[in-house]
Structure 1
Amino acid sequence: MIRLYQAGDELGINELYEKVFGKKRSLAEWQWKFETFPEGATIVIFEEDGHINGHAAFLKLTARQQGQELVLGERVDIMVDPEAQGRGIYKQIVSRMIQECKAEGIDILYGFPAETAKQVFLKVADGKDLGNVPRFLAVNKPGALLAAKVGKLQAIQSPLDKAFSVSIPKKSTHQLRELGDRLSVAEMLYGRFEKQYPLHTKRSSGYLQRRFLDHPTKEYQVYTLEQNGYAEGYCVLHDETKANGVTFTTIVDLFGPNDEAIIADQLKAIRRFTKADALNCWAVPDSPRYRALKKAGFFHINSPMPFVIKDFTGTGSYDELADWHLSQSDVDSY
């Protein structure tokens, strides 16, 4: 039976999530993801004999483009119990999700599915594949990365990192300052620069609070990027240490003037500020950020994330990757 979410389903949903993805998710994280969105979330369930064997959901988000407001749906956690696969459940829950999108007035449904899921989405939803989003990497400490791969190189790790440090940008006009309780500053920055960007999720102070500061399991650092004491942008960073000991900083979000030279200078400031061995960041091809990343010493390492949409507007105005501004903040897994 296909139906919508009912109170109490979250326990079965999390059990299915662990079974499908091999990761535990706390009730607190589920509640953060599905109950704290101001615009709401819609969950489709496939239930058999009291067990949840299928799940599809979308999170409602407000988007902006040149002052125009649209409603986006982010498709998340589409999953079927491995023991129930091969019976068309995936197609059924995706079809029902599309029906709910239409009923709720979603303008565009988007997501970053794995290859098999992408093909089903494109067929069942009549969606469009806009291509893959490039990921950039900057190495601050190559010795640490090499030593993690080849233990014998640990002896030269420190001198190699010291020698390489001369190539890290030493000068920029921006400084990082912890945002703290200055959410009104982020709100001001968004209002000042949002019309410079193509279609994007609205980055209000409430969005920053809910998306990053209120996350129950992940720690994010939010900084303003300042020149002469004045905020000219902000960034959201997330640090992690891999099993091999290598430390990474992900630039989950970066917002300010959509200007290649300014973004490059801000990226240099972030790169100099972080203590991580390496940094990574997304950028849409041929955008000011894409070019700025290269100027700041980042290199395009791969394009791991396919981006697909179902455009209910019928305008065709959002059917190219260049029509979007995307960062890792647009994926709930970051």
Structure 2
Amino acid sequence: MTGNAILIRIYKDGDEEGIVKLFKQVFGREMSLDEWRWKYMESYPKKVYSSVAVHKDFGIVGHYGGVCLPLIHKSNQARGLVICDVMIHAKFRGIKTLKLLSSIMPREAVKDGIIIGYGFPNINTLLKPALSLGLYEKVEDVLEGNKDVTFNNNSTRYAFRFLPLNYSDARIDHLWGSCKSNLSLSVVRNRQYLEWRYKNHPFHHYELWGLRKRFGRRLLGIAILRKEKDRVLLIDFLSIKDMLKPLFNKVENYVYSTGMKTLSLWFPPFMEKKIIALGFSTNNAHTSIPRTTYEGFITREEMAGKFFYTMGDTDFL
């Protein structure tokens, strides 16, 4: 698709050089080629789901990215796209360019059987014009929980153990197998995904911890943690039924032992009562989940109140 010396097309090999250059111009942060490859190629080596706007003189001036991830949807294996790095150079911004960028890649995805496009936009995105044009539709607000940690000196302290895990631990896949039937819509949290998302991240450092009974080997839950200056982020978590409280108690005790004061997490609205019952205060996380409205993707009604996500589902935490 062309117009005003700009060609809108699907990603081609080598475009990443122009994409990372544009990223620096628009967002003011350096994205290395290693980071780009981790995000767009290592997540799904079969294909890069991105569209670009190419000016005949200035090169790549627009980009609409999608990170292709494995999902579970109504007990079926599926694929979805996390929409990210949507950007247009200030000199070339316009409704037509945004609309074309936002349609050509979803069309390709639907053709390949991908069922959903969604994201976690922050204030430095093109969300407002995309919503007003009907390219996106808000699904729900993302919630944040915060807690001033204390030491839980209860039965959990003695009945369970909280241990560092290796990303290659086969019990992670067994845990996912036990949990997935309780989730209507979720990213597949198996070893392959966790290793890509957390172990291989190009600049963030994460800790992987597991919960088991004191005299058992079965993995009952996992927690992914990342330490900031004044708080610990519970980036991701997964547990079998009735093990959320022991898992969170153990996470809190660990955070307390490090001397950190606050534990924070993101979660969907359907979990709010459980999170409050665990002692967290809750509020809006200042982001939301919009879905791509392109025909062929699942509807808002199939996502709202059903999608399990955490901080780790974003591309920036």
Q: Please classify the TM superposition score into its range, dividing by the shorter chain length.
A: 0.7 to 0.9
Q: Distance in 2 between matches of 1:295 and 1:217?
A: 34
1:199 aligns with 2:185: yes
Q: Which residue of 1 aligns with 2:48?
A: 41
Q: Distance in 2 between matches of 1:318 and 1:102?
A: 19
Q: How does 1:150-165 map to 2 (within 5 A)?
A: none
Given the superposition, is the C-alpha separation of residues 307 and 295 from structure 1 closer, same or farther in structure 2, using an over 3 Å criterion? Answer: same
Q: Which residue of 1 aligns with 2:68?
A: 60
Given the superposition, is the C-alpha separation of residues 189 and 7 from structure 1 closer, same or farther in structure 2, using an over 3 Å criterion? Answer: same
CA contact (8 A) 1:44 1:55 kept: yes
CA contact (8 A) 1:32 1:216 kept: yes
Q: Deviations over 1:28-73 (max 9, x none)?
A: 1111011102364311110111421100011222211342122211
Match of 2:161 among 145, 161, 175: 175
1:299 aligns with 2:305: no
1:303 is aligned with what amino acid? A
CA contact (8 A) 1:264 1:293 kept: no
Q: Distance in 2 between matches of 1:89 and 1:66?
A: 35
Q: Deviations over 1:218-275 (max 9, x none)?
A: 111111112224321111111122xxxxx2211111011244xx21221121011022
1:27 is aligned with what amino acid? L
Given the superposition, is the C-alpha separation of residues 198 and 188 from structure 1 closer, same or farther in structure 2, using an over 3 Å criterion? Answer: same
Q: Distance in 1 between matches of 2:189 and 2:134?
A: 28
Tell me the CA shift for residue 121 of structure 1.
3.1
Unaligned runs of 5+ in 2: 1-6
RMSD: 2.2
Q: Which residue of 1 aligns with 2:236?
A: 253
Q: Distance in 1 between matches of 2:95 and 2:136?
A: 22
1:265 aligns with 2:251: no
Identify, as 1 or 2, the structure richer in helix.
Answer: 1
Q: Deviations over 1:142-191 (max 9, x none)?
A: xxxxxxxxxxxxxxxxxxxxxxxxx5423324332111254211111001
2:262 is aligned with what amino acid? A
Tell me the CA shift for residue 210 of structure 1.
0.8
Match of 1:283 among 264, 267, 273: 267
TM-score, normalisation: structure 2? 0.86
Unaligned runs of 5+ in 1: 141-166, 242-246
Tell me the CA shift for residue 203 of structure 1.
1.4
Q: Which residue of 1 aligns with 2:194?
A: 208
* Identical positions, percent: 22
2:130 is aligned with what amino acid? F
- Give aligned pairs, total: 299
1:83 aligns with 2:91: yes
- Which 4+ residue blocks in structure 1 deviate beyond 4 angstroms? 123-126, 311-318
CA contact (8 A) 2:74 2:184 kept: yes
Q: Which residue of 2 aligns with 1:102?
A: 110
1:329 aligns with 2:317: no
